[in-house]
Amino acid sequence: MILTETINDLLATWSPAAEHTLAAVAQYRDGDDRWHGGAFIQHEWQASERLDLVYGARYDEASVGEDSTTVKAGGVYALTEASRLRFNYAQGFKVPENRDYDSNHINPRGMPMLGAHVSDPSVGKTPHDLKPERSETWELGLLGRIGGGRYELTAFHTDIRDRVERVREQPLDTEYITFRNVGEARIRGLEGLLSLPVTRTVHADLSGTWVDAENRNTGKTLSNSPDITAVAGLNWAPDDRQFWQVRVRHVGQRYLDADNTERDSSYTVADLTASFQPRHWDNLELYGGIDNLFDANNDSSLLADPGRFYRVGLRYSLR
């Protein structure tokens, strides 16, 4: 089954003064007999030499029969010349994806995946509706420069109403997976980033995220929420015409359904990426890479066992 979606975006910005920038965004999505439109306005204000503020409001309307007005506000305060305090509050409104409504296939484990609007009498599946997700997020972070590099540390907390989750159901003899609103949910965690120069041509990047995601109604872990993700990368740019990167990615265990009966084990893979710009061909770039360089495998699921993947390409820019 093929799901299609068309997205139209419009962005406009205006700066009436050096310390003020206004942005307006309009978006319309249309696909498979459903649509979702939204409009957003934002004001960025340099309130003082130390304080930058940003705030805005968004209106969303969708064919599912619900609309929403959400707001966000945040800012960055300079503690010292090399460190900043970042704070943010945002409300969210997310319409379910087309696959949540229309999926109708057999997954790699041989189990039917039937969207909310799909009817299949052979397994007792009847159509049901989905509500949009609504959320509130608070963030507090510290960022700045250290040596010749930079760092970031952020704590976040999100409360969600009507989160859409994969659930297992078996009204008749055959079990299947569908999508339902699971009620109240909470996601909290920490994010960290450290980027440092090693030599004049070598740069190291480290990042990691710890997440605690819970369904408040059942006490179970939310699906597709790895507890730990981490990335370590080493970049080498011997000149301005070539770039090499080795990256190691670790993804912690995660549950694939709301009942926590299907789980991916943690896995770690290494990737290699390179790009080269030939001399006398300034508009041309050759690039390639190998994902999962050492062909690490994981028997828990196909999602956690991506196999080795080769990429090669050519870019040409008109300038």
Please give the domain boundaries of the chain with CATH numbers for all domains.
Answer: 79-316 (2.40.170.20)
Residues of the chain with pLDDT under 70: 1-3, 32, 298-306, 319
Q: Which residues contact 231 (CB under 8 A, 6 or more apart)?
A: 205, 206, 207, 208, 247, 248, 249, 250
Instruction: Report which of 18, 77, 32 is spatially closest to residue 51, judged by C-alpha positions.
Output: 77
What's the confidence (pLDDT) of residue 14? 96
What's the confidence (pLDDT) of residue 305? 56
Distance, in Å, from the CA atom of 67 to the CA atom of 131, rounded to the nearest integer, reads 11
What's the confidence (pLDDT) of residue 88? 97
What's the confidence (pLDDT) of residue 264? 82
What's the confidence (pLDDT) of residue 190? 98
**SS3 assignment, position 101:** helix
Distance, in Å, from the CA atom of 239 to the CA atom of 305, rounded to the nearest integer, reads 35
What's the confidence (pLDDT) of residue 255? 87
Distance, in Å, from the CA atom of 289 to the CA atom of 144, rounded to the nearest integer, reads 32
Which runs of E-coded beta strand occur in 129-279? 133-146, 149-161, 164-169, 176-181, 184-197, 202-215, 228-239, 242-251, 254-255, 263-264, 267-276
Reading the block at residue 248, the tokens are 């190691």
What's the confidence (pLDDT) of residue 306? 60
What's the confidence (pLDDT) of residue 3? 61
**SS3 assignment, position 306:** coil
Q: 35 pairs with which residues across the strands?
A: 30
What's the confidence (pLDDT) of residue 312? 93
Q: Which residues contact 258 (CB under 8 A, 6 or more apart)?
A: 165, 166, 167, 168, 180, 182, 215, 218, 220, 222, 223
Distance, in Å, from the CA atom of 92 to the CA atom of 100, rounded to the nearest integer, reads 18
**pLDDT (tens digit per residue) in 27-65:** 998 876 778 889 999 999 999 999 999 999 999 998 877
Q: Which residues contact 229 (CB under 8 A, 6 or more apart)?
A: 208, 209, 211, 249, 250, 251, 252
Task: Name the pTM for this structure.
Answer: 0.81
Q: Are 186 and 214 in contact (CB under 8 A)?
A: yes
Distance, in Å, from the CA atom of 310 to the CA atom of 254, rounded to the nearest integer, reads 26
Task: Look at the chain and count its residues.
Answer: 319
Distance, in Å, from the CA atom of 187 to the CA atom of 166, rounded to the nearest integer, reads 17
